[in-house]
Each structure stands twice: as structure tokens, then as C-alpha cells.
Amino acid sequence: MVHSLYEDGREGSPSNPVKFKGQDYEQLKEALLNQEGMFEDETFPANLDSLGDIQVLTDEQLSEVEWLRPRELHPDAAFIIDGASRFDFHQGRVGNCWFLASIGALTFHKSLMAHVVPLNQSFKDNYAGIFHFKFWRFGKWVDVVIDDLLPTRDKVPVSVSSRSEKEFWAPLLEKAYAKVCGSYGDMIAGTPPEAFKDFSGGVHTNYKLSKSPPELWDIMSRALECRSLMGCGSFSEDKGKDIFERFGLVHSHAFAVTGVKLVESEGNRVNLVRIWNPWGEKEWNGDWSDTSELWDTVSDEDRDQCLKVRDDGEFWMKVEDFCTYFDEMDICCDSPNFVDGDECQWNCSLKDGRWEEGISAGGCMSDAEEFWTNPQYRLKVKALEEWSEGDKNVLLSLLQKPDEEYRSKVEYHHIGFLIYKVPSEAPKGHLSSSVLQYEEPVLMSDFEPARELIEFHSLAPGEYVIIPCTYDPNKTASFVITIYSKAEAEIE
């Protein structure tokens, strides 16, 4: 799931990631080994500032927090044992289920997992208390260095814990992401697509399950075949507390989607979905749950393959119940092919941009002179051999890039974009209002206060100008615009 446009080896590519906070993992580790020292990260120190406001600990409990290395927690501490699995860890006291559900999904994709979590790390050979992880951050891959001091109380990790008590890749991955976010407390509350994006740089699609397309299960099947990351979220408590208590679900919670399966039950075809709770416990107890008698109605092969009666947080349910009792689902992949099953090779282009107050932040009012100061991107869409009006052939992603270091303090502007057909006589370069003063936009997106806005569209062959903007003028912010197109496209 690593975009081909990065294969040139430039800084920020998978093979040449940006060194987060200027820290070079190889150089630091070599110096530590020569000095026989242990790494202590001054840019993310082992103190309460790095822990942040995790809300669930009292002042007295915070005073008891002790930062310990894995070897101090278990004499046989290991980075990874027999490969990484979603069952290696469970959630701790930090409310970051969205991130842990995303890790659970990541473990299914071995090549991507090995990129985010370099596997040649150990507590034995050349150990110096230093580790590193890679994330995709706003258009560039970054390499994040950490020490292995973990926050604990009574020698129990405050946050993510190893189920075996001696496998530490997940707590260390969490610490690296906490460093990127500003603190552990800054990881509280979120949704899986944010972490999916930071694990892959891929394109994500959200489905409101109450309005899901009839072919949703087929989309999910294709998504898993395409090695997509998938997650879902439950309703908030106001949906009805009795529903959650009756069926064993958790409200306002993020889960990973870990599988789909078609079974035959008493002559009927049943589409099943497998869900995993990052708590490592608390499961659905309705139809097709671990103890459901419906498993007696399927073949021995399907039952043996699917049914594992254990309290591990993972369960099956039919897709109809999934759409009833869950609120939304997210799919993230390097290609949008899972949406319609088309096997075409999507073209992808990524550009950095910025709105500057008084210079290039003209807002969204297309009849205002200031609107035309917004950044502009020319897109030439070429013809496909098989294409008809209405076929989705262009996907646009507009991703805000905050200047704020601490995730919890970021405030996102309402963002969107307008698309105009460029007249054949229009000059090259930035267009003024006079060029398109009599033209209506071909498309105008929704405007949302979101980290990322993604929309699929159908554009006939021709030349267009895409104008990303904030809803209100004079809002200064950086952004990344990514354009996926089925046909060959030229972007300026």
C-alpha cells in the first residue's frame, strides 16, 4: 500500500523517510552502542508532559507513574514473537480505541506492517533502548525515533499492554504515535481512518451503514482482497443503552473489521462479517456470535474455520445486523478499485498547497474577486476506452495539514473545492475571475470541518481547474491535495 509516486527515492518516500524532529535512528544507535549507553529521548522525555492529560488517572495515581523499560517489566522481553497479531495486545487506560482498532487491521497486511513496524528490532542483539517506526504524515513518510521507557503503575503499563506480558511491539508503536501526536493524552478520541491514513497514505471511503449500498458486502469482500484496512464504529449511547447491554456491544467505540465469509445455513446463503474489539474482550452475543446455535446449521468445514469460542473480543455477525447495530464503516486502500471492482490502474498525483490570509485564502464565494486568489490546479482528463456519463473516474482528497504540534489542540477549518471546465481560449497559468465569470462550476463539494475531505466524481474528458478553499476567507492553513484518475491525467 505504498504509492508508486514515491518510488523515486526522494525525501519523504518509503525508502528515504523524513527524520522526525531531525533524529537519525542509525546514527543515534551506532553512537549508543559505541558508548554502551541506553537511549533517553530528550524530544519526548519520560515525564508527565509526554503522558499528557489521559483523564482517567487522579493526581495521586499520576504521581505513582514510573517509566520502565520492557526488560524491567519482563526478563524475557521480546519485540515480536511468532509474527504480529491483533491478539498480541489489549487496550489500556488511554481512550485510543480508534488507534488500536487500526493496529489490529494493520496486522493483516504483512508488507505494510513491516514498513510501519521495522521487524529487525530486538531487545537482544545490539540493544540500546532505541526503536523506530514509520508513518505517512501529510504527504511524506517520516521515521520516528523513541526510547523504550514506558509509563507504568505497579509495573503494569498505563496504556497498551502485551497479552503475553513479554511482547512489546504494540506498546512501542503506540509510544511512537503518541510522540507524533504530542503526548499520550493527545491520542484520546478519534476514528480509524486517521490512523489508516498515517499507516499507509492510502485513500479512504466512509460508509454510513444506515444508508449503505445494497452491494456493501461485495464491496467489503473486494476491499479485503485488495488488502485494505477496514474499521467501524458503534453508535453513541443516546441510540439506546439497552441495545448495547442486550447484545454485548460497546457504544461510541471503534472496532476493526477483520474478515467476511459466505456460509450456507439451512439452504440459505448468509453473508457474515467478522469484527474485533481492541479491548480484547466484550463481544456481540446475538445471531452468529460465539455461542449462537446457528453455527450448528452450517457445514463442519465452515464451523471449524470460523468458530473459535473464546473471549478475545472477536465475533461474527450477519451483514444485516452489522448495518443495524453499527453506525459507520471505513475502508482505506492504495487504490479505489474496491468500490466498483474495476481492475484499472488508477493514476495518482499529490501536491502541497497553502492558504495565506490576505494573499491566497479567498474563501468559497465564487462570485467574489478574492475567490480567484485561492490555489488552483489544472487537470486534463483523457478519454477511457469504456466510459459513460456517471461512471466515477476521478477521486479528490483534500487533507488539512495543521501547524499545531499537539493533536488535541488542532481546529480544522471547513474545507471543500469547486471544479470548473476551462474554456479552450483560456490562457495558461492562474485563472482570473474574468475568464470564468459566466461559467457555473461543474462541481462544488460539500464543506466540512474535517481533517480530510474525499469525494468521487464523474468528469468527462477535457480540461478542468480545481480550486480548493476554506468556506470562510482569510483562513491560513496548509493542505495536501491528491487526485486519483482512472484515465491518464495531466496535473499542473
pLDDT tens figures, 198-252:
999 998 889 999 998 888 999 899 888 888 899 999 988 776 667 777 888 888 8
d(CA 459, CA 463): 10
Report the alpha-carbon distance of residue 469 to residue 365 in Å, rounded: 10
> What are the DSSP E strand ranges found in 82-177?
89-90, 130-137, 140-147, 150-153, 156-157, 161-162
CB 475 within 8 Å of CB 356 = no
Counting beta carbons within 10 angstroms of the beta carbon of residue 369, is it exposed (0 to 12), middle (13 to 18) or buried (19 or more)?
A: exposed
CATH number of 344-491: 2.60.120.380
Check residue 8 and give its pLDDT.
61
Average pLDDT for residues 91-120, to the nearest whole number?
91
Are 71 and 38 in contact by the 8 Å Cβ rule? The answer is no
Distances (CA, A) of 353 to 359, 398, 404: 13, 10, 17
- Residue type present at position 278: P
Look up cell 505494510; give the residue: 112
pLDDT at residue 386 greater than cutoff 70: no
- Extract the C-alpha cell encoding 51: 503522558
* Catalytic-labelled residue, pool 96, 277, 347, 374: 277
Measured between alpha carbons, how far is residue 349 from residues 38, 92, 352, 379, 487 in Å?
42, 39, 10, 10, 13
What is the band of 366 on the pLDDT scale with cuts at 50, 70, 90?
Answer: confident
Confidence at residue 343, expressed as pLDDT on a 0 to 100 scale: 64
Mean pLDDT of 64-93: 91
Nearest to 131 by CA among 115, 140, 119, 113: 119
Given this model, what pLDDT does residue 2 score? Answer: 39
pLDDT recorded at residue 349? 86
The angle subtended at Cα 199 by Cα 197 and Cα 200, nearest 5°, is 70
User: Poorest-confidence range of 105-114, 191-200, 482-491?
Assistant: 482-491
Instruction: Provide the 3-class DSSP secondary structure of residue 243.
Output: helix
Backbone angles phi, psi at 180, to 5 degrees: -65, -35
Asked if the model's pLDDT at residue 136 lies above 80, the reply is yes
Question: Which pLDDT score is estimated for 336?
Answer: 75
* Contact residues for 469 (Cβ-Cβ < 8 A; gap 6+): 355, 361, 362, 363, 364, 371, 374, 415, 416, 417, 418
Any catalytic annotation for residue 97? yes
pLDDT at residue 437 greater than cutoff 80 = no
As a 3-state breakdown, the chain gives helix, strand, coil percent values, each rounded to 5, of 25, 30, 45
d(CA 143, CA 165): 27
Q: Do 232 and 255 meet the contact criterion of CB atoms below 8 Å apart?
A: yes
Residues 275, 323 contacting (CB under 8 angstroms): no
What integer pLDDT is reported at residue 385 of this predicted model? 65
Mean pLDDT score of the chain: 89
pLDDT at 103: 94
Q: What is the pLDDT of residue 6?
A: 53
Strand 477-485 with 347-355, pairing:
antiparallel
Where exactly are the structural domains of the chain? 4-187, 203-333, 344-491
Task: Return left, alpha or beta for 285; rule: phi > 0 is left, psi -120 to 50 is alpha, else beta.
Answer: alpha
The pLDDT, as a whole number, for residue 4 is 46
Q: How far apart are the first and last CA of the chain?
A: 25
pLDDT band of 3, cuts 50, 70, 90: very low
- Give the whole-angstrom CA distance, residue 316 versus residue 309: 11
Out of 3, 96, 97, 181, the active site residue is: 97
Topology annotation, domain 203-333: Cathepsin B; Chain A (3.90.70)
Question: 80, 119 in Cβ contact below 8 A?
Answer: yes
Res. 376: pLDDT tops 70: yes
User: Model confidence at 183, in pLDDT bands (50, 70, 90)?
Assistant: very high
- Return all residues near 130 (Cβ < 8 A) that are at least 6 apart: 25, 28, 29, 32, 39, 145, 146, 147, 148
Contact status, residue 123 vs residue 71, Cβ threshold 8 Å: yes
Lookup: cell for 410 = 488542532
Buried b (16+ CB within 10 A) or exposed e, 208-242: ebeebeeebbebbbbbbebbbbbbbbbbeeeeeee
Q: Would you say residue 402 has pLDDT above 80?
A: yes
Same fold, 203-333 and 344-491: no
Hey, is 454 helix, strand or coil? Answer: strand
Q: β-strands 161-162, 130-137: how paired?
A: unpaired
With CA atoms as reference, report the closest residue to 224 among 184, 193, 256.
256
Active site includes 253?
Answer: yes
Q: Is 344 a catalytic residue?
A: no
Q: Name the nearest CA neighbour of 206 among 219, 187, 221, 224.
A: 219
Sign of CA dihedral 41, 47, 53, 56: positive
Is pLDDT at 404 greater than 70 in this prediction? yes
Which residue out of 109, 132, 204, 253 is catalytically annotated? 253
Query: For the sheet containing 66-68, what is the strand order?
Result: 66-68, 150-153, 156-157
Looking at residue 344, what is its pLDDT?
Answer: 66
Q: For residue 434, what is its C-alpha cell? A: 474574468
Per-residue confidence band for 465, with pLDDT thresholds at 50, 70 and 90: very high
Task: Answer yes or no: is pLDDT of 333 > 90.
Answer: no
Question: pLDDT (tens digit, 9 = 90+) per residue, 126-135?
Answer: 999 999 999 9
